[in-house]
Chains A and B, each alone.
Chain A
Amino acid sequence: MTSTKNMVLTLLIVAIVCSVVLSFVYSYTEPRIAETQAQLTLGGLKQVINAQEFVEIIPDTLWNAVDSSGILTGIVFRVFPQGYGGPIPITVGLDLNGKITGVRIASAAEGLKETPGLGVKITEPEFKDQFIDKCAPEAQLKSDGGEIDAITAATISSRAVCNGIKNGIETYLNYLETPIDKRCVFSDAREFVEIIKDTLWYALKDADTIGIVFVGFTQGYLDCIEFMVGVGTDAKISGVEILYSSETEGIGEAIREKEFLDKFKEGSAEAITGATVSSQVLIDAIEEYITRYKEYLK
């Protein structure tokens, strides 16, 4: 009986002492752990964009980057495209023109499951820094029509990163105030020279003028529509983006769809069924603007 009592007592005392010690250690380290975690997230965000503060818009997914005087400098978002070994955690910063300011890819220690020595090379600056200053259509592998060099023997991982970033930009671009980069309507051009402030630019490549980019307005069905168009010297449209529209949800807003906008490039844009007014005014307005700026194309 004494021995049983002794056993129980010993275990009880040891357990109580251990619990007390642990609760002391916990209360001491807990704030520090929370701080480290917060700093890790914040540090990751600061690596991809130059900003002082981050305002969370979608928890753990999307942040507004704000400078010290509280002005929006861009957005940061996280995507998890499927790579070769598992999802790849990527943090991307975008400036107000929709261009990438920085890319951060989690290391193997942080949960990246790509093949050591091959796929994990996506975390190296040689690869990820290629994305800086690119906009969505350029953030693709060269073999897919973009400007990114794939890593030898790690094409799947490389392509997954590109697609994740491109899809992320397309998803979150509308969170930016002035979302469209001029390169998105004129992907061949490398430089833009302003002719009329905030309205008309020459598109240059290797110091040759290869076309123009302009911003136009028209009255839509409900509200004004603001659009950006790129036109080559051959008078062919290289791209159209809607900068602002507030047409009927689900009907007139169809003018924002890629399918409709892409038809301009083929010169075969036609009104959308059910959204005739919105789409037709846009088609007419673009034609009118091109006629107006024709002399700049010579």
Chain B
Amino acid sequence: MKRRNLFTRGLVKENAVLVLMIGLCPALAVSGTVRDAFGMGLAATFVLLFSNIIISIMRKKIPNEVRIPVFILIISTFVTIIDYVMQAFQPDLYRALGIFVPLIVVNCMILGRAEAFAYKNSVIDSILDGLGVGLGFTLALTVMGAIREILGNGTFLGMAILGEGFKESPVIFMILPPGAFLVIGVLKALINKYVKKETQ
């Protein structure tokens, strides 16, 4: 039961983007389309999961004084791996995400989980935690991407789903930067309501 909580709390109740409000930079910048948002979410989940695993394995060997540089080294290694792999196999996605792939290194969500969880807990727990937080991040980004792409471009994954007429003149505002703030605000409000209800 407790282990299941480790996984599920990151999905909604302690969602990194919508509840803890961390990792906002990529969430706002690359949630213009579902494809970009989902790709970014998976890339961050990959890095988070594997850095959690490695850091958890090494947690007893890392001297406390140099733990942050060691975390950064490990995280940036995985970011560089995903950077190369994406460039080789998903060049379109790579160009769409641009600078935000290397910037996963400084995503405070990943360093935050390393410091607050993986450094203190077992490997299994760290895997569950990394998956939960990472998929929660992916979920939040994908929902934002879906709302913004459908309203702002009239498409979902590039397919016109609200009819050709809407695609001709969509709510352009939604895929421009202000749309990201509006969507994240509305989602945050909904989450607040939902989470409060549950704790009462």
Contacts and interface: CB of A to CB of B under 8 A. Distances in A.
Given A26-B84, A32-B88, A117 B77 contact: no
A10 B62 contact: yes
Interface stretch (B8-16, B64-72, B118-126): B64-72
A7 B66 contact: yes
Given A14-B74, A40-B91, A117 B152 contact: yes
B153 A109 contact: no
A22 B80 contact: yes
B108 interface: no
Contact of A10 (B66, B84, B85): B66
Interface residues of B, number: 29
A109 B85 contact: no
Contact of A25 (B63, B65, B69, B85): B85
B175 A117 contact: yes
A167 B81 CA distance: 43
A233 interface: no
B95 interface: yes
Contact of A15 (B63, B73, B84, B176): B73
Interface residues of A, number: 26
B95 A18 contact: no
A199 interface: no
A7 B153 contact: no
Contact of B172 (A15, A21, A117): A117
A92 B65 CA distance: 59
A118 interface: yes
A269 B177 CA distance: 57
Given A18-B73, A22-B81, A11 B66 contact: yes
B81 A25 contact: yes
A117 B170 contact: yes
Interface string A110-128: 1100011110000000000
Contact of B70 (A6, A11, A116): A11
A178 interface: no
A55 interface: no
Contacts of B95: 109-111
B183 interface: no
Nearest to A115: B172
A238 B49 CA distance: 71
A29 interface: yes
Nearest to B70: A14
Contacts of A115: 172
B70 A10 contact: yes
10 contacts: A10-B63, A10-B66, A11-B70, A18-B73, A25-B81, A30-B84, A36-B87, A36-B88, A111-B95, A118-B172
Interface of B: 32, 61-63, 65-66, 69-70, 73-74, 76-77, 80-81, 84-85, 87-89, 91-92, 95-96, 152-153, 170, 172, 175-176
Ranked 9 nearest A-B pairs via Cβ: A117-B172, A32-B88, A109-B96, A18-B77, A29-B84, A29-B88, A7-B66, A33-B88, A7-B63
Given A116-B153, A117-B172, 6 more contacts: A10-B66, A14-B74, A29-B87, A30-B84, A33-B88, A36-B89
